[in-house]
Amino acid sequence: MLIQNAVNAAGQPIDVLCRTGKIAALGAGLAPLLLPGEETLDAAGRTVLPAFIDLHCHWRTPGYEYKEDLETGSRAAAAGGYTFVNLMPNTNPVMSDAAAAHALMEKVETIGLCGANQTVSITENFDGHTLDHLKTLPESVKYITEDGHGVQNAAVMAKAFAICHEKHITIMSHAEDSDISPWDYRLAEDIETVRNLYLSEYYQTRLHLCHVSTRGAIEAVAAAKYRGAPVTCEVTPHHLWFTKDTLDYRVNPPVREADDVAALVEGIRAGIVDAIATDHAPHSEEDKLKGAAGMVGLETAFGVCYTKLCRQEGLPLAALSALMSTNPAEILGLLGKGTLAPGADADLVLVDLAHPWRVDKNALHSKSHNCPYDGTTLYGKVRATIKGGKITYRAE
Ligand code: DOR
Ligand code: ZN
C-alpha cells in the first residue's frame, strides 16, 4: 500500500510505501514505485506518525468482560491510533502466570487489530505477600505490576526488586500507600514513589512508574534519574487535562491541582517524563455509581494531548510522537515499532490536526462510556490507523 499526500511531524510532504508489513520507502512523490495491483490511500494532507503504543491499558479479560472485552478493546485501540497495548493484570482471576498471559496475547493477535503484551502480577493473586510465582516465570515475561494497588509491604517489594534484578524484569508500579490514601492521596503517592525509586536504585532493577500525578513524585523521579537510577515514568492524558477544580470524577490517582499539572508539563519539556499512557479503565455505569475509579482513554488520548501539549503549551508534535510511540516502544523492547523509518513495521496513524472535533461518549468503540471528556472540543483527530500495512481503522 502507498500512502500518498501526507505530511510528517515537521509538516513536510511525505508518502509512505508499505510492503509485507514493513515500511519499504519514505519520501515525497513515491508514486513511480507503485507496482500494479498495489493499493493507495490518499492522506489528503493529513499528518502521518508512527502508530501509538499504550503502556497502560485495562481490557478486563478475564472476568470483567461486561466492561470491555478483547474485541471491543482492540477496536477502541485502533480507533485511537494504537497498534500495541500493554495490558494490566487486575482481572478476575488476577493474571499471575505466564501461560494465561500468553493465551490471552494469542487471542488478541487473532483479532488482528492491535498487538498486546499481558503483564503479570507482582504478588500472586494480588495477595500482597507471595512472590513464589516470580521465581518460576519464564524469560518471556518481562513486565510485572500490581496496578490498581501498590504493594504495601516494603520487605515484599524489596524482595520483588531483588528477584526482578536477577531475572531482568521491569516493575511497573502503581505507587499508592493504601493506609494513607484514604486521608492524604498526595502523600500516599509521593511516599511510595520515593520508596520504589530507592529500591530501583538499590537493586539496580528497572522500574517504570505508572500514572505519575504530583509535583512531589515527578521531582523525585527527576532526582533518581539524575543519580542514574534505571527508571522511566508515564503520565496520563487526564492528569494533564483536568484539575480537581475542573473535574469531580473518581480516578486513581485522583486529578490534582493546577501546580501539579504545571509540574507534569515541565517534566515533559525536561525529558523527565518518558511516555504518555492512557490508563484506559472501562467501567459500566452501574459500577461507576458504586464508586469504581477510572475512565476510558484510548480514543481521546491523542486529541487531549495534542490540544493540551502542542496547541496550548507549544510542545513540538515530534516530542508528543516520541511520548506516545517511540519511547513506549523502547520501554517495552518492541524492535521495529514506534518509528517511521525504512524497514520498520508499517504501523502508522493518520491524524487531522486542523479541524476541531467534539468528543461524543456514545460514539466510542469501547464497551464502556465512562468518559468525562464527553462534549469537549479537541484538536487532533485520528483519521486512520494502519497495522502491518493493513488498515485497522478508518474514520467515516
Ligand atoms: O482509576 C483507576 N482505575 N486507577 C487504577 O489504577 C486502576 C484502574 C482500574 O482498573 O479501573
Ligand atoms: Zn491502571
Tens-place pLDDT, residues 322-333: 999 999 999 999
Q: How confident is the model at residue 9 (pLDDT cuts 50, 70, 90)?
A: very high
Q: Cα(29) to centroid of ligand 2, in Å?
A: 43
CB atoms within 10 A of CB 356: 12
Q: Cα(370) to centroid of ligand 1, in Å?
A: 12
Do residues 337 and 50 make contact, with C-beta atoms less than 8 angstroms apart? yes
Do residues 211 and 297 make contact, with C-beta atoms less than 8 angstroms apart? no
Does 61 sit in the ligand 1 pocket, CB within 6 Å? no
In angstroms, rounded to a whole number, what is the distance separating the alpha carbons of residues 387 and 81?
A: 10
For residue 88, which ligand has an atom nearest its CA?
A: 2
Does 156 sit in the ligand 1 pocket, CB within 6 Å? no
pLDDT in tens, 182-234: 999 999 999 999 999 999 999 999 999 999 999 999 999 999 999 999 999 99
Residue 16, C-alpha cell as written in the block: 509512505
Which one of 279, 288, 296 would you pick to mutate in the ligand 1 pocket, going by the greatest count of ligand atoms within 8 A of its CB?
279
pLDDT in tens, 36-84: 999 999 999 999 999 999 999 999 999 999 999 999 999 999 999 999 9
Residue 43: left if φ>0, alpha if ψ -120 to 50, beta else—which one?
alpha
pLDDT in tens, 274-323: 999 999 999 999 999 999 999 999 999 999 999 999 999 999 999 999 99
Does 120 sit in the ligand 1 pocket, CB within 6 Å? no
Record the pTM.
Answer: 0.98
Do residues 381 and 352 make contact, with C-beta atoms less than 8 angstroms apart? yes
226-231 contact pairs (CB < 8 A, 24+): 227/201, 228/201, 229/197, 229/200, 229/201, 230/200, 230/204, 230/205, 230/206, 231/197, 231/200, 231/201, 231/206, 231/207
The residue type of 23 is I
Residue 64, C-alpha cell as written in the block: 470483567
Residue 174, C-alpha cell as written in the block: 502503581
Give percent of the chain with pLDDT exceeding 70.
Answer: 100
Helices 185-203, 215-226: crossing angle, 10 deg rounding: 10
Looking at residue 191, what is its pLDDT?
98
Looking at residue 396, what is its pLDDT?
84
- 28, HSE (Cβ side, Cα atoms, 13 Å): 5
Looking at residue 39, what is its pLDDT?
95
Do residues 378 and 356 make contact, with C-beta atoms less than 8 angstroms apart? yes
Residue ranges with strand state E in the chain = 2-7, 13-19, 22-27, 40-42, 47-50, 52-57, 82-87, 115-118, 143-145, 170-173, 207-209, 231-235, 275-276, 348-352, 357-358, 377-378, 381-387, 390-394
Catalytic residues: 279
In angstroms, rounded to a whole number, what is the distance separating the alpha carbons of residues 91 and 295?
A: 16
Q: Cα(200) to centroid of ligand 1, in Å?
A: 23
Q: Cα(88) to centroid of ligand 2, in Å?
A: 7
Average pLDDT of the chain?
98
In angstroms, rounded to a whole number, what is the distance separating the alpha carbons of residues 272 and 71?
A: 34
Does 240 sit in the ligand 1 pocket, CB within 6 Å? no
Looking at residue 123, what is its pLDDT?
98
In angstroms, rounded to a whole number, what is the distance separating the alpha carbons of residues 233 and 214?
A: 12
Mean pLDDT value across residues 364-369:
98
Q: Cα(208) to centroid of ligand 2, in Å?
A: 13
* Cis peptide bond prior to 62, omega within 30° of 0: yes
What are the backbone angles phi and psi of residue 22, rounded to the nearest 5°?
Answer: -120, 165
Q: Which atom of ligand 1 is nearest to the CA of 148?
A: 6
In angstroms, the Cα distances linking 111 to 72, 104, 166 are 10, 11, 35
Cβ burial of 142 (10 Å; 0-12, 13-18, 19+) is middle
CB atoms within 10 A of CB 36: 4
Nearest Cα residue to atom 4 of ligand 1: 252
In angstroms, rounded to a whole number, what is the distance separating the alpha carbons of residues 282 and 288?
A: 10
Helices and strands, number each (H, E), in the chain: 12, 18
CB atoms within 10 A of CB 13: 14
Kind of pairing between the strands at 52-57 and 40-42: unpaired
* CA torsion through residues 361, 362, 363, 368, sign: positive
Does 251 sit in the ligand 1 pocket, CB within 6 Å? yes
